[in-house]
Amino acid sequence: MAVNTSVTVRYTIAANGACPATFEDVTFTVNAEPVATTGGDATVCITAGSYVLTGNTPSAGTGTWSILGGSVNMSLSQFSSVNDPSATFTPITTGIYFLRWTVSNPPCTDKFSNMTLTFTQISAPRLRPRPRQPRYVSAALRHLV
């Protein structure tokens, strides 16, 4: 039977003496098993502002992004849309975010894929003052000054 199709089977009990025949219809549906993938882990500079996620588009069912942990901020508002496989993730702060893309197609078991996003801060360049050059003029050149 093909995926995402239904078939109805009729179970019939034949008439027996004075009892009439009876039947019961049962419908079977084959759902596609969900598949979940992400593009893998990434490290992003926080100045980029956001990261476009790369979850797969479910062939059947619904996908949902969630934050498993890592950062102190677990707000789902950091996703442009929790159900978009290509959602933009805009962190509120630097840090490591453990994300999960879950694809559901009941009554099948959910499938998920995890990824780690690390948002880093740019280190400010260290400026070192140049050592002062002594203002020394040789005796041979003093007449020019």
Domain ranges of the chain: 33-120
If pLDDT is split at 50, 70 and 90, which confidence band does 65 have? Answer: very high
The two three-digit tokens of residue 27, written as one number: 């419908």
Closest CA to 99 of 87, 110, 58, 107: 87
Query: Cβ-count burial of 63 within 10 angstroms (0-12 exposed, 13-18 middle, 19+ buried)?
Result: buried
Closest CA to 35 of 85, 1, 69: 85
Q: Each residue of 13-55: pLDDT tens digit?
A: 888 888 888 989 888 887 778 899 998 999 998 887 899 999 9
Residue 72: pLDDT over 60: yes
Pairwise CA distance, residues 145 & 38, whole Å: 71
Instruction: Tell me if 6 sits within 8 A of 28, measured CB to CB.
Output: yes
Pairwise CA distance, residues 19 & 40, whole Å: 65
Residue 66: pLDDT over 70: yes
In the three-class reduction of DSSP (H, G, I as helix; E, B as strand; rest coil), residue 43 is classed as strand
Residue 76: pLDDT over 90: yes
Q: Each residue of 98-134: pLDDT tens digit?
A: 999 999 999 899 999 999 999 998 766 666 666 666 5
Residue 88: pLDDT over 80: yes
Pairwise CA distance, residues 90 & 65, whole Å: 13
Pairwise CA distance, residues 121 & 141, whole Å: 52
With b for 16 or more beta-carbon neighbours within 10 A and e for fewer, the 79-97 pattern comes to: beebebbebebebeeebeb
CATH 2.60.40.10 corresponds to the domain 33-120: yes
Residue 136: pLDDT over 70: no
Please report, as a single letter, which amino acid is at residue 105. Answer: N
